[in-house]
Amino acid sequence: MTWVLGNLELIRELTLEHLWFALVPVVIGLVLAIPLGWLANRTRLGRTFTINVSGLLYTVPSLALFVLLPPLLGTRILDPINVIVALTIYTVALLVRTVADGLSAVSPVVVNAATAMGYTPLRRFLAVELPLSVPVVLAGLRVAAVSSISLVTVGAVIGFGGLGRMFTDGFQRDIPQEIITGIVLVLLIALVVDGLLLLLGRALTPWDRVGRPAKGRA
Amino acid sequence: MNVFSYLLDPAHWSGSQGIPARLVEHLGYVALTLLIALVIAVPLGAWIGHTGRGGFLAVGLANGLRALPTLGLLVLLVGATGLGLLGPITALVILAVPPILAGTYAGIRNVDPAIVDAARGMGMRGRDVLFGVELPNALPLITGGVRSSVLQVVSTATIAAFVALGGLGRFIIDGLAVRDFPQMIAGSVLVALLAIALDLLLAGVQKLLVSPGLRQAPAPRRLRLVPTKTPDAARAA
């Protein structure tokens, strides 16, 4: 505890950096995954292609991806943008599949009803299909956010990693309290973000809270 | 291209710190970790799945693992045990167990109760049911858990080079120390290829192990009493 009390300023700074590195990729990843998931859900070929490519990208270990991006993107090798891009890639890889699954789970009856009521395809997608796929997409988003929060710390090995820097520093200077504080904070942030996303999901799907009607009545 | 200069230099392909030696080291860590994790996780998962006791633990561990920062776990354990294999391998095992445990548990839980009932009706006892019916039916999910474990271990063993473990991560860490970027890229390319190759290999093993009957329908919820038109049914008719 003495270490924590003596280093509150450092902890605050690293926590903010950590949140930035972890959550920006999740937001960008979600924005990119929605159109890609829509595309994957439309054609069989698109689905096979996106699912295979995203599976392949998800296989590449994080540290390797951090190092491999600069020659591919033309960024400098020790640039925080590489960490953000790498985590965005993981988020997209994870969410494309979730979005496609969520959209394909929307009942065709509802989609047809919306079409019959005069919804244009774009409006139908935004106002009917996307909101109805929220529960599935949100489950994937929670996994993506928690993974991203944990993976940021790997960036500390190459110099940027938010709270991960407490691991490298605590290891090199042999301060176990610093390492433990870092682990606890990462777990805590993951827990809080996960809880907030859960609440967001509830807020976005008010129809789920109204007492579920008896089964068999559509 | 000069980013691949390190990878293409023949001098780096021999000796105790050459690419083949590091690759063997890396595979060694993965194999050792996987062996220990399988010995712990499969019997435990099978017991939890078979008895239904402690299922929340298996699922909770696997979910909680995603939030646990691997680097933090590594430095903490290596700091506690000193340099050597014990710390890093313990960390790798801790990360490898939950996916296999959850896969085994879920696999056994998801076996159609009608199939288990049929096995009992045929006179099979607890152990026969477990080894003859439940485990073979659970194989798709068990091997799925093994695949995610292996990816996790390949990835974390790379990071473990930071705490003085050998393996392919050494090229990344050593290259970083002297700003030798081609060396870092060589290490990263090799690790990425290794992860992809192992995953494909395990996908192949999964195909070989899993009974063809399970491959057709991934998760039959109910036993079909009316035969559907399958190629086999057509041939029999």
Query: Residue ranges of the domains in chain B?
Result: 16-219
What average pLDDT does the structure give for chain B?
85
pLDDT at B132 over 80: yes
Closest-CA residue in chain B for A152?
A: B69
Nearest to A150 among B68, B154, B172 (CB): B68
Question: Which range has the worst mean pLDDT, A34-43, A49-58, A73-82, B222-231?
Answer: B222-231
- The pLDDT, as a whole number, for residue B58 is 83
CA distance B156 to chain A (A): 8
Structural domain count, chain A? 1
- The pLDDT, as a whole number, for residue B125 is 87
- The pLDDT, as a whole number, for residue A173 is 92
- The pLDDT, as a whole number, for residue A3 is 84
The structure's pTM equals: 0.85
3-state secondary structure of A118: coil
- The pLDDT, as a whole number, for residue A212 is 58
Q: Is residue A218 part of a domain?
A: no
- Which domain covers residue A82, as residue numbers? 2-203
Residue A5 pLDDT level (bands cut at 50, 70, 90): confident
Q: Report the C-alpha dihedral over residues B61, B67, B68, B69, rounded to 10 degrees.
A: 160
pLDDT at B110 over 70: yes
- Is the CB of A182 less than 8 angstroms away from the CB of B69? yes
The alpha carbon of B153 is separated from its chain's Cα centroid by a whole number of angstroms, namely 8
Note the ipTM here. Answer: 0.85
Question: Which range has the worst mean pLDDT, A130-139, B1-10, B172-181, B189-198?
Answer: B1-10
pLDDT at A217 over 50: no
Residue B231 pLDDT level (bands cut at 50, 70, 90): very low
Give the tens place of pLDDT for each residue, B60-97.
888 888 889 999 999 999 988 887 889 999 999 999 99
CA distance B184 to chain A (A): 7
Would you give the end-to-end CA distance of chain A in angstroms?
A: 57
Would you give the end-to-end CA distance of chain B in angstroms?
A: 62
Residue B216 pLDDT level (bands cut at 50, 70, 90): low
Task: Choose between A213 and A81: higher pLDDT.
Answer: A81
Locate tokens 């993974």: which residue? A147
Q: Is residue A215 part of a domain?
A: no
Residue B234 pLDDT level (bands cut at 50, 70, 90): very low
Q: Is residue A208 part of a domain?
A: no
Q: How many helices (H) and strands (E) does chain A have?
A: 11, 0
Q: Which residues of B fall within a CB distance of 8 Å from A158?
A: 176
- The pLDDT, as a whole number, for residue A113 is 95
- Is the CB of B66 less than 8 angstroms away from the CB of A143? yes
Share of chain B above pLDDT 70, in %: 89
As a whole number, mean pLDDT of residues A60-81 equals: 86
- The pLDDT, as a whole number, for residue B215 is 66
CA distance B206 to chain A (A): 16
- Is the CB of A183 less than 8 angstroms away from the CB of B185? no
Which two structure tokens, joined as six digits, stand for A148?
């991203």
- Decide which of 1.10.10.1110, 1.10.3720.10, 3.40.50.150, 3.40.50.40 is the CATH code for B16-219: 1.10.3720.10
In SS3 terms, chain A reads as CHHHHHCHHHHHHHHHHHHHHHHHHHHHHHHHHHHHHHHHHHCHHHHHHHHHHHHHHHHCCHHHHHHHHHHHHCCCCCCHHHHHHHHHHHHHHHHHHHHHHHHHCCCHHHHHHHHHCCCCHHHHHHHHHHHHCHHHHHHHHHHHHHHHHHHHHHHHHHCCCCCHHHHHHHHHCCCHHHHHHHHHHHHHHHHHHHHHHHHHHHHHCHHHCCCCCCCCCC
- The pLDDT, as a whole number, for residue B4 is 79
Share of chain B above pLDDT 90, in %: 55
Phi and psi torsions of A107, nearest 5°: -65, 130
Residues B52 and A63: their CA atoms lie apart, in Å, by 38
Task: Please report, for the domain that includes residue A91, its CATH number.
Answer: 1.10.3720.10
- The pLDDT, as a whole number, for residue A215 is 53
Residue B44 pLDDT level (bands cut at 50, 70, 90): very high
Task: Choose between A214 and B214: higher pLDDT.
Answer: B214
Residues B61 and B200: their CA atoms lie apart, in Å, by 26
